[in-house]
């Protein structure tokens, strides 16, 4: 039986993001970082003080990762960059697709191998299968691990690091791969979940300590919980129709932070959903799997 969860959902930031994305919890600082892709901006929220801070980004910012050196790795339209919060500087690392002007980097996350994995997406209205998944190694080298994607999304890893999850939002499918932590290599791609229309298209996801995959069902206003075998166990309804990504945070990693968007919503839709684009926090009965920091 598929369960409908009624976990408490709190509004952390009501100001509507254009495309809120990539919430990342800092264990070191006990704060949350996240982005608004199209503003474009990087945000920081301190739940202890309630203080929020923002930095403008030089280009559309698809995702971020914390790094062991205290900086942040960011996937911008113009390539992978370092961001240093100390002086608000942006420094190019490398661009994986300088020859494809209509693509931009999208969802990304650091894996248990210490590398930042991020995929691209066709940013045109008539999207084509011209995107790829990339691995940015700590030494700055880039390798491709799959192509012919439309919108790369949904990256997450199992608690033991041996399974990687990855989705293509426009194909409405979540994949799984066997993952070699030592080498950062993938096994053959397998279908993990073929999404149904009432579940929404797959967007960003996170894995809990029990190995379940929690994925935002954009267009359906919910977060879906899938077992490690790909069975839909339940879903959490949200007060917005377009959640984009979720991430576990908080001192015990038992708070699920959720971003959302307002992009392409008309006046009637925005009036019906006054919290569209908000950042939410959900008190969860289970903790999340820690996300690695970038670096060797």
* Tally of CB atoms within 10 A around 66: 22
Check 113, 122, 203, 208 and give the catalytic one.
203
Residue 237 pairs in a beta bridge with 222
Residue 81 is encoded by which pair of tokens? 């960059």
**Rounded to whole angstroms, how far apart are CA atoms 159 and 175?**
17
Q: What angle is formed at CA 112 by the lines to CA 106 and CA 115, rounded to 5 degrees? A: 50
- Gyration radius of the chain's alpha carbons: 17
Is the backbone peptide bond immediately before 40 cis, with ω within 30 degrees of 0? yes
Locus of tokens 């960003």: 204
Pairing of strands 190-194, 173-180: antiparallel
Place of tokens 């008539």: 126
126 is known as an active-site residue: no
Decide if 44 contacts 31 (C-beta within 8 A).
yes
Of 206, 216, 241, 154, the closest CA to residue 32 belongs to 206
Show which residues are catalytic.
Answer: 203
């Amino acid at each position: 039986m598929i369960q409908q969860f009624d976990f408490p959902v709190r509004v952390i930031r009501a100001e509507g993001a254009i495309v809120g994305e990539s919430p990342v919890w800092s264990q070191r600082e006990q704060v949350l970082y996240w982005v608004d892709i199209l503003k474009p901006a990087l945000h920081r929220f301190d739940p202890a003080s309630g203080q929020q801070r923002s930095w403008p980004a030089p280009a559309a910012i698809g995702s971020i990762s914390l790094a062991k050196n205290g900086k942040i790795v960011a996937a911008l339209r113009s390539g992978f960059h370092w961001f240093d919060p100390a002086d608000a500087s942006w420094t190019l690392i490398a661009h994986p697709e300088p020859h494809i002007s209509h693509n931009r980097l999208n969802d990304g996350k650091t894996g248990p191998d210490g590398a930042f994995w991020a995929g691209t997406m066709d940013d045109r209205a008539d999207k084509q299968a011209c995107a790829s998944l990339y691995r940015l190694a700590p030494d700055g080298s880039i390798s491709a691990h799959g192509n012919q994607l439309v919108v790369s999304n949904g990256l997450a890893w199992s608690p033991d690091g041996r399974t990687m999850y990855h989705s293509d939002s426009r194909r409405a499918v979540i994949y799984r791969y066997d993952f070699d932590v030592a080498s950062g290599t993938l096994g053959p791609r397998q279908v993990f979940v073929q999404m149904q229309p009432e579940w929404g298209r797959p967007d960003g996801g996170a894995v809990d300590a029990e190995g379940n995959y929690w994925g935002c069902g954009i267009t359906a206003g919910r977060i879906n919980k899938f077992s490690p075998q790909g069975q839909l166990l339940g879903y959490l309804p949200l007060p917005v129709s377009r959640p984009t990504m979720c991430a576990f945070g908080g001192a015990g990693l038992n708070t699920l932070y959720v971003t959302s968007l307002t992009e392409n919503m008309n006046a009637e839709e925005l009036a019906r959903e006054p919290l569209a684009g908000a950042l939410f926090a959900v008190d969860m009965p289970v903790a999340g799997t820690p996300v690695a920091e970038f670096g060797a």
